[in-house]
Amino acid sequence: MTKAEIVAEISEKTGVEKVAVQATIEAFMKSVKTNISQGKNVYLRGFGSFIVKKRAAKKGRNISKKTTILIPEHFIPAFKPAKSFSEKVKKSVKA
């Protein structure tokens, strides 16, 4: 599902204009990005958490040059779904 499809669905269900829905979604995403980039987690009860994960330093290999390089520790954004969300997906999605 694309952002445009989400906007259209929310607009249809709520009766709010697509432009307003899109502005709201853009503001939400900007807020999440800003907070995550500042090292703050974002918690949405019943949905999940946007969190910052720390990756430890590790050794990597450059196969073409046959050398070992050190990859420094770094942080990545991650999403951890709420327990109720995960259970609903497990029950409804079939492989």
Prediction pTM value: 0.78
Pair (54, 83) in one structural domain: yes
Per-residue pLDDT at 67: 92
> Given a cut of 80, is residue 94 above it in pLDDT?
no
Neighbours of 6 (CB within 10 A): 13
Pair (34, 63) in one structural domain: no
- Per DSSP, 68 falls in state E
- Per DSSP, 57 falls in state P
Distance, in Å, from the CA atom of 35 to the CA atom of 20, rounded to the nearest integer, reads 23
> Given a cut of 80, is residue 95 above it in pLDDT?
no
> Given a cut of 70, is residue 11 above it in pLDDT?
yes
Question: Domain count of the chain?
Answer: 2
User: Mapping DSSP to helix (H, G, I), strand (E, B) and coil, where does residue 79 land?
Assistant: strand
Pair (47, 90) in one structural domain: yes
Pair (69, 56) in one structural domain: yes
| Beta-bridge partners for 92 | none
Pair (36, 60) in one structural domain: no
Per-residue pLDDT at 56: 95
**What does the pLDDT look like over 59-89, one tens digit per residue?**
999 889 889 999 999 999 999 999 999 999 9
